[in-house]
Amino acid sequence: MNERRIPEVVIRRLPKYLRRLQELEEEGVLRVSSLQLSHQMGLNASQIRQDLNLFGGFGQQGYGYLVTNLKESIADILGLEQGKKMIIIGAGNMGISLASYKGFIKKGFNIVKMFDVNPNIIGKSYRGIEVLAMEKLKDYCMENAIDVGIITTPKEHAQGVADILMEAKVKGIWNFSPADINAKDIIVEDVRLSDSLYVLNYKMNNNYID
């Protein structure tokens, strides 16, 4: 689909650029050079220019980049503010915690329903988001063109939920369970909290300073 595939490492740097540019904009800074950004972000200036030029020429020679302009370009590349519909499967603490986060809405990510197997919470609402029974998951996704399923169930149920989401033609899975999900024709993004903690622990034990 793209002339040349963008390396994954570059994609993962885009949100970081976006964040820095947002902050610069809030500070009222109008323009910024790759060298300035490199100092602020701890990256190499060449790398920043290389990264940005994979998506097009956003800068001006001898001048730098316009902060707001570049910020909006990156938000565009990431496809923010397009209005994505998301559901949460597993209305436990993590699910409710994600449902409460206001930052997602601001960027066009709307959590529209939650699903759970526990009859005690089915029908309840958290932060204005209703919990439906798991049996309704597939039909609901198909009827409402859900874009993303957020899996916050226990490990044992993750694959089963993912299978339903795939059948219902959901486009992406944001997986908070420790399970490795077997998927086809769907993008899976894993959030492995334990892995992150283990890496922190390793670095602490081994005095691993960058």
Partner DNA sequence: TAGATTGTTAATCGATTAACAATC
Contacting positions for DNA (CB under 7 A): 7-10, 33-35, 43-47, 49-50, 52-53, 57-65
**Binding partner of residue 202 among a second copy, DNA, none, CB cut-off 5 to 8 Å per kind:** a second copy
- Minimum distance from residue 45 beta carbon to a second copy (Å): 18
Could you tell me how many residues make up the chain? 210
Closest CA to 95 of 158, 36, 35: 158
Taking the alpha carbons at both ends of the chain, their separation in whole angstroms is 36
**Binding partner of residue 71 among a second copy, DNA, none, CB cut-off 5 to 8 Å per kind:** none
**Binding partner of residue 49 among DNA, a second copy, none, CB cut-off 5 to 8 Å per kind:** DNA
Distance separating alpha carbons of residues 17 and 169, to the nearest angstrom:
32
What are the beta bridge partners of residue 130? 125
- Minimum distance from residue 172 beta carbon to a second copy (Å): 4
Phi and psi angles of residue 59, each rounded to the nearest 5 degrees, phi first = -105, 180
Question: CB-based contacts of 118: which residues, under 8 Å, 6+ apart?
Answer: 91
**Binding partner of residue 110 among a second copy, DNA, none, CB cut-off 5 to 8 Å per kind:** none
Cβ-contact 174, 148 below 8 angstroms:
yes
Closer of 8 and 156 to DNA (Cβ): 8
Q: Locate tokens 């409710």: which residue?
A: 96
Contacting positions for a second copy (CB under 8 A): 1-2, 5-6, 11-12, 14-16, 18-19, 77-80, 82, 84, 92-94, 96-98, 100-101, 103-104, 107, 109, 147-148, 171-172, 174, 178, 180, 187, 189, 191-209
